[in-house]
Amino acid sequence: MSIFVDKSTKVLVQGITGREGQFHTRQCMEYGTRVVAGVTPGKGGQQMDSVPVFNTVAEARAETGADCSLIFVPPPFAADAILEAVDAGIELIVAITEGIPVLDMMKVKRYIQNSPSRLIGPNCPGIITPGQCKVGIMPGPIHKPGGPIGVVSRSGTLTYEVVHQLTREGIGQTTCIGIGGDPVNGTNFIDCLAAFQDDPDTKGIVMVGEIGGSAEEEASRFITEQVNKPVVGFIAGLSAPPGRRMGHAGAIISGKSGTAQGKIEAMEAAGIHVCRDLGRLGELCAKVFKDA
């Protein structure tokens, strides 16, 4: 089927009346996503197009039964917005916001670990199950519904590039998830790999990483132990200089750790088909997933 979201997902949008919130709410609805509520404190009782706006997440959930929140709240208030969604019992929280302070996110992450909620992001494009539900800012039309490939990535437009190449090769996607470019995030590679492994419709996985941290190395160990579906990998930042933050807050080589070379080696050791030339990723996927 898909992982985390499908056509039954009922979405509420936090920050729905802002410029980004309005624009992307409309885009998601056009794609077919069931957006049932919006939240903007102080604007409760209003409507954004046909969507009712509430003052609090708890109220919106109680009134509409929303089980997923899409967050466009600006960085100074975003951690609070995520925590509000957690406290309201929202199952899936997708935080698009870029620029949340690390210390805020560390608290959010520790808090959410003791709750039933799942967080995707922040600083991410969101999640899409093609043809069913788009909870994020990715362009819908580049995706191809029906699977059989799952995509998980730390990046935004790089993911679009990858998905586009898959679609051009005639390879559809079950679900595509951007887990975000921040150093501290919610759902990680391993969570997604485990979910794709358990999803009967997903026959293969594309994993897109980048420099910084050790998430790809940990994911590689997990793949060795727990994943038997074919995995194609790509790592951005082979030419990145050490000690510099490459756009994403989490994309930084510190000393000898977090290098692209180290990640590629770990991935290859785990049997992942690592693509070094982004221009040929689609071709490689066509070859690897031929029998998928």
146 binds another protein (CB under 8 A): no
Return the SS3 of 132: coil
What minimum distance in Å lies between the beta carbon of 189 and another protein?
12
Separation CA 130–CA 32 (nearest Å): 10
Among 4, 54, 72, 160, contact with another protein (rule: CB under 8 A):
160
10 Å CB burial of residue 179 (0-12, 13-18, 19+) is buried
One character per residue 165-204, x = contact with another protein (rule: CB under 8 A) = ----------------x-xx--------------------
115 binds another protein (CB under 8 A): no
Separation CA 65–CA 59 (nearest Å): 10
What minimum distance in Å lies between the beta carbon of 155 and another protein?
3
Closest CA relative to residue 31, chosen from 120, 118, 126:
126
Among 32, 76, 146, 271, contact with another protein (rule: CB under 8 A):
76
Residue number, 60 or 151, with CB nearest to another protein:
151
Residue type, 138: M
Catalytic residue among 24, 143, 164, 248: 248
The beta-strand segments (E) located in the chain are: 10-14, 34-39, 47-48, 51-54, 68-71, 92-95, 118-120, 126-129, 133-136, 148-153, 172-178, 204-210, 231-236, 273-274
102 binds another protein (CB under 8 A): yes
Instruction: Find the angle CA(120)-CA(209)-CA(105) to the nearest 5 degrees.
Output: 35
Annotated active-site residue 273? The verdict is: no
Is the CB of residue 241 less than 8 Å from the CB of residue 201? Answer: no
32 binds another protein (CB under 8 A): no
51 binds another protein (CB under 8 A): no
Among 10, 34, 43, 164, contact with another protein (rule: CB under 8 A):
164
Query: Hey, which residues are catalytic here?
Result: 248
List of residues contacting another protein (CB under 8 A): 23, 27, 75-76, 99-107, 109-111, 125, 137-139, 141-142, 153-161, 164, 181, 183-184, 208, 210-211, 213-215, 218, 234, 236-241, 243-251, 255-256, 260, 276-280
